[in-house]
Amino acid sequence: MLDMTSPSIKMISVRNACMEAPPGPKKDEAFKHYAAAEHARHAMREADSDTELDAAIQALA
């Protein structure tokens, strides 16, 4: 079973990418998706969390 109580490596990587991004709308959008991923992870919804992390990465592109 997957440990949903601690952040995944992907979550940590996305958070770091968000924090290092220059200020602006892309960073804001990425943080919204990151927050949604964090919320989904706490609710034990792995697929939703992963989808939101992918959206955060896309927002930074």
Pair 17, 30: CB distance under 8 Å? yes
Residue that wins the pLDDT comparison between 4 and 55? 55
Cα gap 54→28, rounded to integer Å = 15
Q: What single DSSP character describes residue 3?
A: -
The pTM (predicted TM-score) of the whole model is 0.85
Residue 14's pLDDT is 92
Average pLDDT rounded to a whole number, residues 36-41: 94
Residue 1's pLDDT is 47
Residue 56's pLDDT is 95
Residue that wins the pLDDT comparison between 40 and 6? 40
Cα gap 53→59, rounded to integer Å = 10
